[in-house]
């Protein structure tokens, strides 16, 4: 067994569910889990500066390998002294493998071969090639604390045979990635469990990857078109296949009920662009459900956005003011709304950790979902 750069410490398991309270120790600090990680696609969490991000208390952010590889280039980031120095962020960073973006750009399945994936750049249309070794080399140059293996992430509804072949290739790619990893002493590499909705393929994937001794395990291939119920079902059988002494990361999930349901099933880490993307459009998550701040009914509403929220936005500004800023397309409005949504999810995880401590996570879920409006007919996903 290797001594990994990333360590997981289990503090307590909840009595009635699979939820676990813990912490993840990285070369750039320790953060508590379960945790929601803000996404900084282009080496910046849109509109937020690092000092503001630190006040959220997430302790870790995510950045995107594909985007940084294309622009400004991973070699330039290495020349700057690594991603932490380049973006002035001294806390942990997780990078994805680039796979998820690449698959959305592949024009033909024939371009996915054993060697790697051929696709066209979203910036200028030029032809690019990414494979497991290259994905690791880029992340070694970026210097993130937590790196992801290059995997194939097919949509949820695919024929069994296709998913089986894809899972097998993902395992071979995971091994190639491990062999290419140049900085195991200060960067931890995670394997990604695939297998769509097929229990035996998830088992095969988990078994292949856990035999390779990664620093942690991600659950991929979810939040790609399946229902909330199907996601929960996959988590129900997948998380018990993963080792107890390593972190578990559910990729690309950010709806509040999905976060709570993931924690209940033993997930430690989550990320999603959802909170910042919808914020810039004036859609806000509050303890009483979603608010579209552009709505006319907020024109004369001089109350805080979310009276149960103690973030900078809710403490200092009114719904009427936020509505005005968003309608006028003011940068400050984008900042205030992004800050609130990120605070909402990071703080939700803080409340969830307390509920694990108190062994009342199921009651917490019930109360939260009732207030949020999930139990009403026609409730939306976030």
**Helix or strand run (H / E) with residue 95:** strand 93-95
Stretch that binds Zn ion, among 144-152, 181-189, 304-312, 367-375 (CB under 5 A): 304-312
Q: Out of 96, 151, 208, 306, pick the active-site residue.
A: 96
Min dist CB 309 to Zn ion, Å, is: 3
Cβ–Cβ < 8 Å for 136, 122 = no
Residue 370, SS3? Answer: helix
Asked if 311 touches Zn ion (CB under 5 A), the answer is yes
State in angstroms the smallest separation of the CB of 262 from Zn ion: 23
What minimum distance in Å lies between the beta carbon of 53 and Zn ion?
A: 15
Q: How far is the CB of 305 from Zn ion (least distance, A)?
A: 6
Contacts with Zn ion: how many residues (CB under 5 A)?
5
Closer residue to Zn ion, CB minimum distance, 118 or 340: 340
- Give the contacts of 328 (CB within 8 A, at least 6 positions apart): none
Bond into 34 cis (ω within 30): yes
| Contact with Zn ion (CB under 5 A) among 189, 314, 345, 361 | 314
Contact characters 205-234, Zn ion, x per CB under 5 A: ------------------------------
Structure tokens at 83: 């991603």
Helices (H), 211-330: 228-238, 256-264, 274-279, 312-316, 319-327
Smaller CB distance to Zn ion: residue 37 or 311? 311
**Window of 10-18, 30-38, 140-148, 305-313 that interacts with Zn ion by CB under 5 A:** 305-313
Are the C-beta atoms of residues 259 and 382 closer than 8 Å to each other?
A: no
Closest CA to 284 of 262, 308, 263, 300: 308
Q: List alpha helices for 28-98, DSSP H.
A: 50-56, 65-70, 74-79, 83-86
Token look-up 């900085």 returns 183
Per DSSP, 375 falls in state T
Least distance (Å) from Zn ion to the CB of residue 346? Answer: 11
Catalytic residue among 74, 261, 271, 306: 271
Told to check if 265 binds Zn ion by CB under 5 A, we report: no
Nearer to Zn ion, 178 or 279 (CB): 279
Residue 340 binds Zn ion (CB under 5 A) = yes
**Stretches 7-15, 97-105, 142-150, 333-341: which one binds Zn ion (CB under 5 A)?**
333-341
Given the complex with Zn ion, which of 239 and 313 has the nearer CB atom?
Answer: 313
In angstroms, rounded to a whole number, what is the distance separating the alpha carbons of residues 379 and 229?
A: 14
Pick between residue 56 and residue 242 the one whose CB is nearest to Zn ion: 56
Which CA distances in Å does 211 have to 53, 61, 174, 204, 241?
37, 28, 11, 11, 12
Determine whether 271 is an active site residue: yes
Question: Least distance to Zn ion from the beta carbon of 286, Å?
Answer: 8
Q: Residue 296: beta bridge partners? A: none
Of the pair 178, 293, the CB lying nearest Zn ion is at: 293
Contact call for residues 362 and 254 (beta carbons, < 8 A): no
Interacting residue with Zn ion among 102, 192, 309, 325 (CB under 5 A): 309
**301 an active-site residue?**
no
Tell me which H or E stretch contains 162: helix 160-180
Is 319 a residue that touches Zn ion (CB under 5 A)?
no
Cα(321)–Cα(323) distance, rounded to whole angstroms? 5
Q: How far is the CB of 285 from Zn ion (least distance, A)?
A: 9
In the bound state with Zn ion, the residue whose beta carbon lies nearer, of 45 and 193, is 45
CA distance to 58, 167, 198, 301, per residue, from 250 (Å): 16, 17, 17, 38
Any contact of residue 348 with Zn ion (CB under 5 A)? no
Q: Is the peptide bond before 264 cis (omega within 30 degrees of 0)?
A: no
Q: Which is nearer to Zn ion, 346 or 355 (CB)?
A: 346
As measured in angstroms, the least distance from the Cβ of 48 to Zn ion is: 14
Q: Which residues bind Zn ion (CB under 5 A)?
A: 309, 311, 313-314, 340
Task: Kindly list the catalytic residues.
Answer: 96, 271
């Amino acid at each position: 067994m290797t001594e990994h750069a990333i360590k997981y410490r289990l503090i307590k398991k909840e009595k009635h569910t699979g939820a676990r309270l813990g912490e993840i120790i990285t070369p750039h600090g320790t953060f508590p889990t379960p945790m929601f990680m803000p996404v900084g696609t282009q080496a910046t969490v849109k509109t937020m500066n690092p000092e503001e991000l630190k006040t959220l208390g997430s302790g870790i952010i995510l950045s995107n390998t594909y985007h940084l590889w294309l622009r400004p280039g991973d070699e330039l980031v290495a020349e700057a002294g690594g991603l932490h120095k380049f973006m002035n962020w001294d806390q942990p960073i997780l990078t994805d493998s680039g796979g998820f973006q690449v698959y959305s750009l592949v024009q033909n399945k024939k371009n996915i071969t054993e060697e790697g994936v051929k696709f066209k750049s979203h910036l200028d249309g030029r032809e690019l090639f990414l494979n497991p070794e290259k994905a690791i080399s880029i992340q070694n140059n970026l210097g993130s604390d937590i790196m992801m293996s290059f995997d194939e992430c097919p949509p949820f509804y695919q024929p069994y045979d296709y998913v089986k072949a894809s899972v097998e290739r993902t395992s071979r790619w995971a091994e190639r990635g491990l062999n290419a990893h140049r900085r195991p002493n200060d960067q931890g590499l995670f394997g990604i469990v695939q297998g769509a909705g097929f229990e035996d393929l998830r088992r095969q994937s988990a078994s292949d990857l856990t035999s390779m001794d990664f620093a942690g395990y991600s659950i991929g291939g979810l939040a790609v078109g399946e229902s909330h119920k199907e996601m929960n079902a996959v988590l129900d059988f997948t998380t018990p296949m993963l080792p107890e002494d390593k972190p578990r990361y559910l990729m690309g999930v950010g709806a509040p009920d999905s976060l709570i349901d993931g924690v209940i099933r033993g997930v430690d880490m989550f990320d999603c662009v959802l909170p910042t993307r919808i914020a810039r459009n004036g859609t806000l998550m509050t303890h009483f459900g979603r608010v579209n701040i552009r709505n006319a009914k907020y024109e004369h509403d001089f109350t805080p956005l979310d009276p149960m929220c103690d973030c900078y936005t809710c403490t200092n500004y009114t719904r009427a003011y936020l509505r005005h800023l968003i309608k006028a397309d003011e940068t400050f409005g984008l900042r205030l709304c992004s800050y609130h949504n990120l605070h909402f999810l990071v703080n939700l995880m803080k409340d969830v950790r307390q509920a694990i401590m108190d062994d009342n996570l199921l009651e917490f879920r019930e109360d939260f979902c009732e207030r949020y409006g999930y139990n009403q007919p026609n409730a939306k996903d976030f």
